[in-house]
Amino acid sequence: MRPFIVAGNWKMNKTLEEGLTLVREVLARFERTPPNTTVVFAVPCPLLQAISEVLRERQGFYLAAQNCHHEEQGAYTGEVSAAMLVSVGAQYVILGHSERRQYFRETHEQLARKVTVALRHNLTPIFCCGEPLAVRERNHHLPYVARQLRASLFHLSETDLRRVVIAYEPVWAIGTGKTASSAQAQEMHAAIRQLVAKRYSSETAQAIPILYGGSCNAQNASQLFQQPDVDGGLIGGASLRADEFSAIICAARST
C-alpha cells in the first residue's frame, strides 16, 4: 500500500516563534497520525532545526526543506546544500515547485541534479510538476507534465525513483482559489502513473505516492483524496492554520 502523505508548504511565512506555535498546535490535536498517513512540515530554512527537535519524538510527523542546491558545496552565497539540510534534521525536500521554476528560472537539468544530490544524502524529494493555465486551455497539459518528469526524473534507476514523491500542482490553481476538479486531478495522476509504468514498471508506478497540490483545503480535501491515484496533498496556504491543516489530515483518515 502506498503511503498517504499530507505535506504543508509554508513558503516564506512564519517567524520561529510563530512556526513553533503552529507545529505544537497541530501535534496537540493528534496522539498519532491516522493509519498509513505521513504528515510533513515544509518550513523555511531558519526554522528547520528548532522544529526538528519538536518533531523528534513524534512518529508519523516529518520535516522538509523547501529547496536545496544542486552542488554538494562551494561558493554559492545564500544557498543551502543537501548535507546541511540533513544535519539540521530534514528528511524531505521540495524540488521543482512552480514558484522556483517561475521566479528563479530553475531548469529541468538543474532539477535533475537536485534530485540526484538529495537522494545521495537520503533526503526524500517531493518533486513538483504541473502546467500553467495557457497550457491547460490548449489541452496540452498531459504532454507538458510528461516532459517535466522525463527531463528531471527519468535519469534515475528504478530503485531510486521509488524513493521519490511526485506532487502534481496545476499552476493555475495555486493561490488563486481555483482548484482542479477531482476528475481533473485523477486524470493527471493516472497519466503520471501510466508514464512511470511505461518507463519503468507497473510495480514501481503503483508504489510511488502522487500528491495533489493546488488550493487544497479542508472543504475539498476529502473529495480529492478519494480519487484512486491521489495519495495526499501538498498544501500551501491552508497549512499555515492549525485548525485547517489538522482538518486536512483528518480528511486523509476518512479515505
Kindly report, residue by residue over 172-181, the tens digit of the pLDDT: 887 777 778 9
Q: CATH number of the domain at 4-253, out of 3.20.20.70, 3.40.50.2000, 3.30.365.10, 3.40.50.720?
A: 3.20.20.70
* pLDDT (mean) for 94-121: 97
Active site residue 169: yes
pTM over 0.85: yes
Mean pLDDT, rounded, of the chain:
95
Known catalytic membership, residue 108 = no
Q: 127-172 pLDDT, tens per residue?
A: 999 999 899 999 999 999 999 999 999 999 999 999 999 999 999 8
Pairing of strands 165-168, 61-65: unpaired
Q: Which residues contact 236 (CB under 8 A, 6 or more apart)?
A: 9, 11, 174, 175, 213, 215, 216
Among 99, 106, 131, 169, the one annotated catalytic: 169
Which amino acid, residue 154?
F
| % of the chain exceeding 70 in pLDDT | 99
Catalytic-role residue among 97, 99, 106, 189:
97
CA–CA separation, 118 and 82 (whole Å): 6
Residue-level pLDDT at 34? 80
Q: How far is CA 160 from CA 64, 120, 192, 255, in A?
A: 19, 10, 17, 28
Backbone angles phi, psi at 155, to 5 degrees: -80, -15
